[in-house]
Amino acid sequence: KSIIGSVAEDQTGRAGIELIYDDVLTGTPGELTYERARGGGTIAAAGEHRVPAVPGSDVVLTLDRALQYETERVLAEQVDAMDADGGMVVISKPETGEILSLANITRNTDGEIITAGANRAVIDVFEPGSVNKVITIAAALEEGIVEPGTELVVPDHLPVADHVFGDDHDHPTMPMTVTDILAKSSNVGTIMIGQDLGKERIDRYLREFGFGHKPGLGFRNETPGILLPPEDWSGTSIGSIPIGQGIAVSAMQMLSAYNVIANDGVFVPPRLVEATVGPDGE
């Protein structure tokens, strides 16, 4: 339901694919004109005029039916096991952007686990946290500021403006390569790299990875996420944003960003529609 959507009583699309492709799916209604006698019967001699209806086109989705079913089943099991309010999963091909599975699971007011009516993977946002570090480090590599083997001397705490950022465990000040910083998810090491990048370049790369604008699937209330322009950053933003705090993204945006890495650095927008097939089969 969160993908296909629904139609109103007049059969026009109200949500989801039914709304996005309403003009393609609807077709053209037919018409029959004839004369009717006072008693209600038709006047045979008067003839009639028919305009045949033209069927709408079919919309072919990129979803894999078996994978969609299994994704929803496993996700529902995990929502139950974790006693969660809901969950979402998106599976896609990085090189083409084709979405193979898009599952949204929630609980209703009675606590029952059901398929969500809203496509939460494109309308809900969350702070990405540490998964955002790959963008900061990719930006530094692309700009030539560091290489994978570059060593930084990394403490376990780092003051930035009026806040002290720390790693998730205490450790002595120690040399760490950029590869180690990413593999160990060091907040401090990533912030140090972010400081060398500067806010303008961090912002530019976040946007080039797909943050700050809608994924473009066309769903109602699709979110661009929350990404402050550099001029609105606070003093601590150069510490928080490189490690994925102080920004918000949708699940679809986060997946698209990682697809850039999987696709050798090329951003391919997500897509849900493979083709439309007209009544003539084209």
pLDDT for the residue 51? 83
Contact 243, 167 (CB under 8 A): no
Q: Which two tokens stand for residue 193?
A: 């790299």
Q: Reduced to 3 DSSP states, what percent helix, strand and coil does the chain have, rounded to the nearest 5?
A: 35, 25, 40
Angle of helix 133-142 relative to helix 187-197, nearest 10 degrees?
40
Strands 31-34 and 48-51: antiparallel
pLDDT for the residue 41? 77
Q: Which two tokens stand for residue 145?
A: 């500021």
pLDDT for the residue 45? 66
Distances, alpha carbon 99 to alpha carbons 92, 133, 220, 251, 273, in Å: 4, 24, 18, 13, 9
CA distance 75 to 68: 10
Question: What pTM does this model have?
Answer: 0.85
Cα radius of gyration rounded to whole Å, the chain? 26
Q: Which residues does 33 contact at the CB level (< 8 Å), separation at least 6?
A: 48, 49, 50
CA distance 243 to 135: 9
Mark whether 130 is an active-site residue: yes
Q: Which two tokens stand for residue 200?
A: 């303008």
Residue ranges of E strands in the chain: 6-7, 13-15, 31-34, 48-51, 58-61, 86-92, 99-107, 113-115, 151-154, 157-160, 163-166, 174-177, 273-277
DSSP string, 10-48: TS-EEEHHHHHTHHHHH-B--EEEE-B-TTS-B-GGG-E
What are the φ/ψ torsions at residue 246 (nearest 5 degrees)? 85, 5
The distance from CA 242 to its chain's CA centroid, rounded to whole angstroms, is: 20
Q: Which of 57, 130, 234, 237 is catalytic?
A: 130
Contact 134, 153 (CB under 8 A): no
What tens-digit pLDDT sequence spans the chain (282 residues)? 789 888 888 778 778 888 888 888 887 878 888 788 777 777 776 677 788 888 889 999 999 999 999 999 999 999 999 999 999 999 999 999 999 999 999 999 999 999 998 999 999 999 999 999 999 999 999 999 999 999 999 999 999 999 999 999 999 999 999 999 999 999 999 999 999 999 999 999 999 999 999 999 999 899 999 999 999 999 999 999 999 999 999 999 999 999 999 999 999 999 999 999 988 889
What is the amino acid identity at position 48?
E
pLDDT for the residue 37? 79
pLDDT for the residue 39? 75
pLDDT for the residue 6? 83
